[in-house]
């Protein structure tokens, strides 16, 4: 499997410590283009999987209309009143 590090630097990250011992070869433009297209498609597929898993645990939006009664939790509401009892 190719990694993004390999796509950018054309070497594996575990060989970075001994890179002075490895003779690197020049890659062709067609090879790099093909590799970038493959990685782009893998990224898109991963994003779609993440989207599916995210939406599995989310509730649908409530169908609220003007005039509906709702509960309001005042924990994050800042007022200028001296006491919470007076709100």
SS3 71: coil
10: left (phi over 0), alpha (psi -120 to 50) or beta: left
pLDDT above 50: residue 7 = yes
pLDDT more than 70, % of the chain: 75
SS3 9: helix
| Residue 76 banded pLDDT, cuts 50, 70, 90 | confident
Closest to 4 measured CA to CA, from 38, 31, 29: 38
pLDDT above 50: residue 63 = yes
Residue 32 vs residue 37, higher pLDDT: 37
Tally of CA atoms within 13 A in the half-sphere of 26 that contains its CB: 2
pLDDT above 60: residue 20 = no
pLDDT more than 90, % of the chain: 20
């Amino acid at each position: 499997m190719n990694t993004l590090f390999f796509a950018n630097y054309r070497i594996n990250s575990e060989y970075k410590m001994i890179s002075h011992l490895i003779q690197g070869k020049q890659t062709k433009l067609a090879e790099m283009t093909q590799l970038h297209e493959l990685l782009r498609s893998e990224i898109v597929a991963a994003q779609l999987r993440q989207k599916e898993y995210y939406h599995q645990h989310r509730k649908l939006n409530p169908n609220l209309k003007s005039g509906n009664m709702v509960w309001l939790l005042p924990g994050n509401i800042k007022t200028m009143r001296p006491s919470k009892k007076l709100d």
